[in-house]
């Protein structure tokens, strides 16, 4: 049975049986449905940008700018993965950037695994930059706004710390694979330059809009409609079948996870998790919240882990921020820790790059403790 169908069946069962009270279900719908609408719209934006060749063009530009130096090319790929994650979300980076980066590595006769693993790492550790970078950020941003706290003012230091630690660790680990030079070769032809320019401008507009705090879902919907209209007006084919532009199967699975966690809380799960997360907002308490979020994310998945622990974090902005660090940066160890990791692994197999689960686990064990601690300490230092 496909996972989306399992999610639908479980959702119907808990609602019909009353395991999830009607008031709790209504509150959950009011909070999560706008977020899922935003995810759907942003996915359309990302798919249209990929169809216009924006990711290919960016990778090709990086190859030429690097001047045939592998270490410079790796650094530009790091920048590209960070920007993609920050503006278009970690799942977009995992799905759309991964095959482009692997193809670029093969084209330049560079081992593709270090490039692919850098994308995987930054799809997670760069996901603290903006509210739109991670679904958990969007869920927390709603609570932060209610308390009059700006997301960027709270999270800029942890986000920067997580990215810098990730880049430093990977640069040291992969230094031998990134030596030498390559022949950039001629640039790939652009199918429709007008559409490519419109896509690039659209991403730039999105980035500015999200930074200044524009409404996320309406902004993404408008940009998605514009890109879709321009693509059709230019008589270009859609990058995927129309029925797959919106990832409705994934959205149903995510909704099912939300319902399961809400039901578990209604049945008393919150008390147990509150004990694990502790209390207070001192350095030790914040590290405890972040560590609990990271462990829970690697055990099940970061989305249900965040929702399950959110009540334990309470309305304290620092505790919410620490939880975001644990559930955003922490799920690097298990292949199912975040949806982005699952999608990244699938894309690697699609382009014939075999990545054993042990490789993911080893990188996660190396990065997760360092990035979670560094980001939490940065939060403490700037609070």
**Distance in angstroms (rounded) separating the CA atoms of residues 157 and 154:** 8
Positions of the chain with pLDDT under 70: 269-271
Hunting for tokens 């790939």 — which residue is that?
A: 188
pLDDT of residue 190: 84
| Token representation of residue 329 | 């940066």
- Nearby residues of 98 by Cβ (< 8 Å), 6 or more positions away: 116, 119, 120, 344, 347, 348, 351
Q: Which domain holds residue 88?
A: 3-382
pLDDT of residue 277: 76
Number of domains in the chain: 1
State phi, psi for 25 to the nearest 5 degrees.
-65, -40
Tell me what percent of the chain is helix, strand and coil, each rounded to the nearest 5.
75, 0, 25
| Token representation of residue 8 | 């639908």
State phi, psi for 215 to the nearest 5 degrees.
-55, 125
pLDDT of residue 224: 94
pLDDT of residue 113: 94
Percent residues over pLDDT 70 in the chain: 99
């Amino acid at each position: 049975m496909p996972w989306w169908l399992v999610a639908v069946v479980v959702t119907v069962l808990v609602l019909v049986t009353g395991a999830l009270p009607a008031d709790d279900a209504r509150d959950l719908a009011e909070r999560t449905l706008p977020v899922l609408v935003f995810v759907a719209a942003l996915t359309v934006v990302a798919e249209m940008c990929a169809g216009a060749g924006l990711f290919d063009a960016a990778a090709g530009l990086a190859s030429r700018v690097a001047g045939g130096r592998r270490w410079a090319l790796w650094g530009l790929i790091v920048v590209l993965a960070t920007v993609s994650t920050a503006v278009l979300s970690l799942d977009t980076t995992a799905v759309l950037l991964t095959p482009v980066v692997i193809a670029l590595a093969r084209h330049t006769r560079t081992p593709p695994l270090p490039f692919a693993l850098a994308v995987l790492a930054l799809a997670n550790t760069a996901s603290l930059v903006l509210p739109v970078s991670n679904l958990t950020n969007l869920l927390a941003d709603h609570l932060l706004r209610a308390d009059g706290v700006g997301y960027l003012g709270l999270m800029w230091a942890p986000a920067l710390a997580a990215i810098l630690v990730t880049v430093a660790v990977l640069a040291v680990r992969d230094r031998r694979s990134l030596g030498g030079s390559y022949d950039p070769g001629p640039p790939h032809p652009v199918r429709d330059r007008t559409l490519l320019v419109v896509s690039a401008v659209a991403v730039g507009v999105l980035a500015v809009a999200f930074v200044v705090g524009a409404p996320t879902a309406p902004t993404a919907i408008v940009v998605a409609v514009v890109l879709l209209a321009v693509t059709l007006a230019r008589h270009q084919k859609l990058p995927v079948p129309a029925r797959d532009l919106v990832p409705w199967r994934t959205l149903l699975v995510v909704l099912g996870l939300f319902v399961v966690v809400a039901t578990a809380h209604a049945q008393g799960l919150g008390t147990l998790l509150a004990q694990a997360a502790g209390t207070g907002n001192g350095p030790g308490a914040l590290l405890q919240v972040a560590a609990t979020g990271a462990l829970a994310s690697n055990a099940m998945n970061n989305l249900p882990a965040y929702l399950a622990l959110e009540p334990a974090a309470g309305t304290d902005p620092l505790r919410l921020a620490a939880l975001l660090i644990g559930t955003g940066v922490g799920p690097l160890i298990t292949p199912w820790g975040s949806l982005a990791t699952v999608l990244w692994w699938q894309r690697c197999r699609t382009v014939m790059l075999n990545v054993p689960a042990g490789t993911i686990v080893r990188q996660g064990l190396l990065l997760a403790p360092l990035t979670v601690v560094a980001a939490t300490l940065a939060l403490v230092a700037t609070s």
